Chain A
Amino acid sequence: MRIRTTLIAAGLAAAGLLAAPACAQIKIGFMAELSGPQGALGQDQYDAFMMVVEANGGKLGGVPVQILKEDSQLKPEVATQIVDKLIEKERVPIITGVTFSNVMMAVHKKITEKEVFLIGSNAGPAPIAGAQCSAYSFITSWQNDNQAEVVGKYANDKGYKKVIGMAPNYQAGKDFIAGFKRLYKGEVIDEIYTPLNQPDFSAELAQVAAKNPDAVYVFYPGGLGVNFVRQYKQAGLAGKIPLLSTSTADGSTLPAQKDDALGVISGTFWGPDFNNPASRKFVEDYEKKYNRIPSQYAAQSYDAALLLDSAIGKVKGNVADKKAFMAALKAADFKSVRGNFKFNNNGFPIQDQHIFEVAKDAKGRVSLKTIATPLKDHSDAYHAQCALK
């Protein structure tokens, strides 16, 4: 009897050993824009993700992980090649990152069709939140429009009657202006679209000054935002006409804008002054390790790593059990830096959206200060078009 139990136990252990190599190490593809003018965003995503992996001793959910870092160069065609390589050659079960919406549109179907899990930590274009949604995709950032909607709501609350909207002349620019208008009830007296490669706004700013609106809403990401905010100040408009924005004065551009950005209003889901334990720990660790205030892009990717950590832990590293892993991801059982976090039917978060003002923080650095929360438990406008339950 005793011998038999021992044998069974030994047999089970052996079976366990045999099964072990299958989940000894999980390969995770990390793809983002890491070079060129927009490389700063991808770098923030990567740094925050690796901070979690390194803090856990190279593991997520207690399982060793190998992160394969890839630069999609803001080129959809490069991104699709990378995805082919990651899936066909490296056989990764999970891909994370993805910075730009056009890259996301190029790879979303390709990844999810192969039943590979996509944990997007930035881009959230409308189609993948609506009709093209997939049970394999989980986005830890936002649906693009959300960050504009919250500013539109704020403009209402402030009683601004006439607003001028400005953005680069491409799809995302138009999406953000449309998102702003969705909840804004006043009049958008003019929409100015500038070519994506136009760095100087002197002509447009003179037009804005001549029309003297109650406020200006802009979406100018990256270097364009640095130019715009500086030129707005130099044109004497700062402090005279409130500047409302999305992705224009954020953690990635404030180091170059500094005092010129003081007073700029910005809408998004998280800011470095959040007072919950997860956020405080994140900001403290990040500043210690990288010596800069984390941007929202870092926060999104940090949450992506925490999400994977929780879900891989739940299935004990057996990500090959797709149903179980999917359910574990969907549960989103982790402490997000933004406080409340849960996934909608389309794999996008249901979350609060806040308004921030650029101001000096306790250490005298230019940073974002939370001033209002116009949208609570906000869902995106497209989830009803998604067939998933």
Chain B
Amino acid sequence: MTLGLFLTQTLNGLQLGVLLFLLAAGLTLVFGIMNFVNLAHGSLYMMGAYFAAAVFNATNSFVLAGVVAVPATMLLGMLVERVALIRLYQRDHLDQVLATFGLILFFNELVRIIWGPASVYMNAPEALSGTVMLFGFGYPAYRFAIIAAGLFVGAGLYWMIHKTRVGMLIRAGATKPEMVAALGVNISLLNTLVFGLGAGLAGFAGWMAGPILSVQPGMGEPILILTLVVIVTGGIGSIRGAFYGAMIVGIVDTIGRAFLPTLLREFLERSLAQAAGPAIASILIYLLMAVVLAVRPQGLFPVKHG
């Protein structure tokens, strides 16, 4: 193992972390501010990817794909919130889980009916399809673009939440919704906006993921599980927590997958290491979550109240 390889793998971890952050930010806002469990968040990500792929195949323009997909997913998110989810805010978390799980099935079937069960084609723009030489390894240029775009969006989100009036209302709505309502702010509209923002971020992630992952029914579920781990680890409702949590989960997962099988081979038989390595690597992040829950149940970077 060389330093170059280790750094390359860290970059891979960062890239996964950035993608997770885009999803976790939206999910944690909805979770923390509206106290609402939205399992259909992964479906919004899938819809974003499908919208982007559809536009990409029609126009062959990657940029245009994003320009259409992100607002379209945002609108779809607000529509879903207005039509279905708004009825569930006062209900039990279990009811919310049940209803949003139903939405997952609904969206998976919907894309299957419209686009068919096979994967849909989408590719990175020509300029980003090559590799960049780094630490003696070729690193995919497109993954660099994901890291850059994700960090940029993250910075924008930080600015919006902490420096703008809307951000202030969102933060206030998270801690004392009744007080905000009493001051004459339309909490219901604020909720829809927050939900739309989350959906837009999910659509952005779907657009970014389209060229590396296959755009197919059910593509939102595996990443939803990782996203839930991220927000629990980072602290529910906190954008900062979502950011650091996503980076930690992304890097731990990637480094574990990359080096644990090799490491195990040092002191285990080869066939045993080959079987145990991936298995242990894939539970690492859940172990991490369990430890965090035991030591700091509120998460590593919880919202500061008061």
Chain A residues within CB distance 8 Å of chain B: 34-40, 43, 169, 191-195, 197-200, 202-204, 206-207, 209-210, 222-224, 226-227, 230-231, 233-236, 252-253, 255-258, 260
Task: Kindly identify which residue among A194, A224, A231, A256 contacts B118, using a CB–CB cutoff of 8 Å.
Answer: A256
Interface pair B222/A197, CB less than 8 Å apart? yes
Number of interface residues of B (CB under 8 A): 50
A35 pairs with B112, CB closer than 8 A: yes
B274 contacts the other chain (Cβ, under 8 Å)? yes
Closest 8 CB pairs of A and B: A39-B117, A226-B214, A256-B119, A236-B131, A40-B118, A236-B138, A223-B214, A202-B12
Task: Provide the residues of chain B in CB contact with A191, threshold 8 Å.
Answer: 274
A193–B274 contact, CB under 8 A? Answer: yes
Chain B 127-145 interface residues, beta-carbon cutoff 8 Å to A: 129-131, 137-138, 140, 142-143
Residues of chain B with a CB closer than 8 A to A200's CB: 16, 212-213
B214–A207 CB distance below 8 A: no
Bound form: Cα–Cα A226–B123 in Å:
11
Chain B residues closer than 8 Å to A39, beta-carbon distance:
112, 117, 217
Write the chain B residue with the least CB distance to A34.
Answer: B117
B61 contacts A by Cβ under 8 Å = no
- B218–A36 contact, CB under 8 A? yes
Q: A233 to B15, alpha carbons, bound, how many Å?
A: 17
Complex Cα–Cα for A182 and B118 (A): 32
30 A-B pairs in the complex with CB atoms less than 8 angstroms apart: A34-B117, A35-B117, A37-B117, A39-B117, A39-B217, A40-B118, A43-B117, A169-B278, A193-B274, A193-B278, A197-B222, A200-B212, A200-B213, A202-B12, A202-B143, A203-B12, A203-B254, A204-B257, A206-B12, A209-B137, A209-B138, A230-B212, A231-B140, A234-B124, A234-B131, A234-B143, A236-B131, A256-B119, A256-B121, A256-B215
Q: Does B9 contact A (CB under 8 A)?
A: yes
List of A residues within 8 angstroms of B109 by Cβ: 35
Chain B residue with minimal CB distance to A231?
B212
- List B194-241 residues whose CB lies under 8 Å from chain A: 211-219, 221-223
Contacts A199-B219, A209-B137; is A169 near B124 (CB within 8 Å)? Answer: no
Cβ of A87 to closest chain B Cβ, rounded Å: 27
* Complex contacts, A256 vs chain B, CB 8 Å: 118-121, 214-215
Interface assignment of B97: CB less than 8 Å from any CB of chain A: no
The CA-CA distance from A361 to B13 in the complex, in Å, is 39
Does B116 reach chain A (CB closer than 8 Å)? yes
Contact between B257 and A203, CB atoms less than 8 A apart? yes
* Chain B residues, CB < 8 A from A195: 278, 282
Distance A366 CA – B9 CA, assembled complex (angstroms): 32
State the Cβ distance, A81 to closest chain B Cβ, in Å.
20
Residues of A contacting B223 in the complex (Cβ-Cβ under 8 angstroms): 199
Q: Which residues of B contact A40 (CB under 8 A)?
A: 116-118
- The answer to whether B5 has its CB under 8 Å from any CB of chain A is yes
Query: Hey, what's the 0/1 contact readout for B101-119 against A, CB within 8 Å counting as 1?
Result: 0000000110010001111
Task: Answer yes or no: B2 CB below 8 A from chain A CBs.
Answer: yes
Interchain CB contact under 8 A, A36 and B217: yes
A257 to B214 Cα, complex, angstroms: 9
In the assembled complex, how far is the CB of residue B261 from the closest CB belonging to chain A, in whole angstroms?
Answer: 7
CA distance A191 to B273 in the complex (A): 10
Whether B9 pairs with A206 at a CB distance below 8 angstroms is: yes
Of all chain A residues, the one with the shortest Cβ separation from B133 is A236
Q: Is the CB of B279 within 8 A of A169?
A: yes
Point out the residues of chain A lying under 8 angstroms from B274, CB to CB: 191, 193
Are A235 and B257 in contact (CB-based, < 8 A)?
no
From A203, A226, A227, A258, B9 is in contact (CB under 8 Å) with A203
Q: How far is the CA of A194 from the CA of B275 in the complex (A)?
A: 10
Partner of B258, one of A36, A204, A227, A236: A204
Within 8 A of A (CB), among B150-197: none
B8 within 8 A of A: yes
Chain A residues with CB under 8 A of B218: 36-37
A253–B211 Cα distance when bound, in Å, is 14
Residue of B nearest to A33 (CB): B117
For B140, give its contact among A207, A227, A234 (CB under 8 Å). Answer: A234
Residue of B with least CB distance to A237: B138
Cβ-defined contact, B16 with A202, below 8 A: yes
Instruction: For the complex formed, measure the closest distance between the CB of A178 and the CB atoms of chain B, giving whole angstroms.
Output: 12
Instruction: Let me know if A227 and B214 touch, CB within 8 A.
Output: yes
Tell me the B58-116 residues at the A interface (CB within 8 Å): 108-109, 112, 116
- The residue in chain A whose Cβ has the minimal distance to the Cβ of B223 is A199
Bound: A227/B217 CA distance, A: 14
Chain A's closest residue to B279 (CB) is A169
Separation of A226 and B116 alpha carbons in the complex (Å): 15
A252 surroundings in chain B (CB, below 8 A): 118
A258–B214 Cα distance when bound, in Å, is: 12
Structural contact, B119 and A258, CB atoms closer than 8 A: no
B15 touches A258 (CB 8 A): no
A111 to B131, CA, bound (A): 52
Which B1-24 residues have C-beta < 8 A from chain A?
2, 5, 8-9, 12-13, 15-16
> B137: which of A36, A206, A234, A260 is its contact (CB, 8 Å)?
A206
- The closest CB in chain A to the CB of B271 belongs to A191
Interface centre among A35, A202, A253 (most CB of B within 10 A): A202
Beta-carbon contact of A235 and B140 below 8 Å: yes
B12 near A235: Cβ-Cβ < 8 Å: no
What CA separation (Å) do A199 and B226 show in the bound complex?
Answer: 12
Q: Is the pair A37, B216 in contact by a Cβ cutoff of 8 Å?
A: yes
Best-surrounded residue of A35, A197, A234 (most CB of chain B within 10 A): A234
Rounded to whole Å, the gap between the CB of B113 and the closest CB of chain A is 11
A203: nearest residue on chain B (CB-CB)? B258
- State the CA gap A206–B259 with chains docked (Å): 11
Chain A residue numbers with a CB within 8 Å of B215 are 256
From B112, B212, B279, A234 is in contact (CB under 8 Å) with B212
Query: Contacts A37-B218, A227-B212 known; A206 to B5 CB distance under 8 Å?
Result: yes
